[in-house]
Amino acid sequence: MAQTFTQKSPETLVRIATGRLLDTGTVASSWPMTITLGFKPRYVRCANLNASGDVTLEWYEGMANASAVKHDISGTQTLIATLGITPTADGFIMGFDLDLVVTSEQISWLALG
C-alpha cells in the first residue's frame, strides 16, 4: 500500500485575521461576500452560532475553491463542493450557504495565512 502526503515547511511569520459581520438587509443582495485580509489564507473558519443548529464552515489549503467542511451542532460533518469558501490573493470569498448566512445573525471568521 502506497501512501502520499504533503507537508509545508513552517513559515517564520503566521498571519492571523479575525472579524465578524452582520447582514441586516436582504441577505441575497450582498452575497457572496468578499473579505479582504491583505494576505492569502491557508485556513479559514466561518461560524454562525446563532443559526438553528449552529453552523461552521472550514476550508483548508489544498481544498477546491467554493468547498468547505460543514459542521452542525448535531456533530454532522459534510464536505460541500459549492457555496463554501474560496481563497483569493488577498483574502477570501464566503459563499452563500443558507445554513451559515441568515439575515440578522452574526457570522464570525478566522483566517490564517
Residue 3 lies in a domain: no
Q: What residue type is assigned to position 52 of the chain?
A: S
Residue 9 lies in a domain: no
Rg (CA), the chain: 15
The predicted structure's pLDDT at residue 4: 67
Residue 87 lies in a domain: yes
Q: Pull the grid cell for residue 75.
A: 456533530
SS3 string, the chain, reads CCCCCCCCCCCCCCCEEEEEEECCCCHHHHCCEEEECCCCCCEEEEEECCCCCCEEEEEECCCCCCEEEEEECCCCEEEEEEEEEEEECCEEEECCCCCCCCCCCEEEEEEEC
For the chain, what is the domain count? 1
Average pLDDT over residues 47-52: 83
Tens-digit pLDDT profile for residues 72-102: 988 899 999 999 999 999 999 999 998 898 8
Residue 61 lies in a domain: yes
How far, rounded to the nearest angstrom, does the alpha carbon of residue 11 sit from its chain's CA centroid? 22
Expressed as residue numbers, the domain containing 74 is 16-112
Residue 34 lies in a domain: yes
Residue 2 lies in a domain: no
The whole model's pTM is what? 0.86
Tens-digit pLDDT profile for residues 8-30: 666 678 899 999 988 776 656 66
